[in-house]
Amino acid sequence: MATSVLNKENRDEISFITFIISEFAAAYKMNIQKAYQYLKQYGGLDYLYENWWALHTGNPFWTVRDMFEICRQNGGMK
């Protein structure tokens, strides 16, 4: 049976995205599942997936704030 092994970059991406979703949930007092659905619905996850490599080097506060603004612009919480 073949096993699939994630390379370091994939592990780093998954770790960062998971971390930021939980930070977003804490910042806006949501549970993690609700935060994930909200980010998915309003474009925050797309932004995170497309830019994670640059975002992971900065302060998570700004990433969470940027994601909130992107979601707001796409019809999320006002």
| pLDDT tens, position by position, 38-75 | 999 999 999 999 999 999 999 999 999 999 999 999 99
Select the more confidently predicted residue: 78 or 12. Answer: 12
Spatial separation of the C-alpha atoms in residues 10 and 67, rounded to whole Å:
21
pLDDT for the residue numbered 38: 98
Is the pTM higher than 0.85?
Answer: yes
**77 pLDDT tier (thresholds 50, 70, 90):** confident
For 34-40, the CB contacts below 8 A with 24+ separation are 38/71, 38/76, 39/67, 39/71
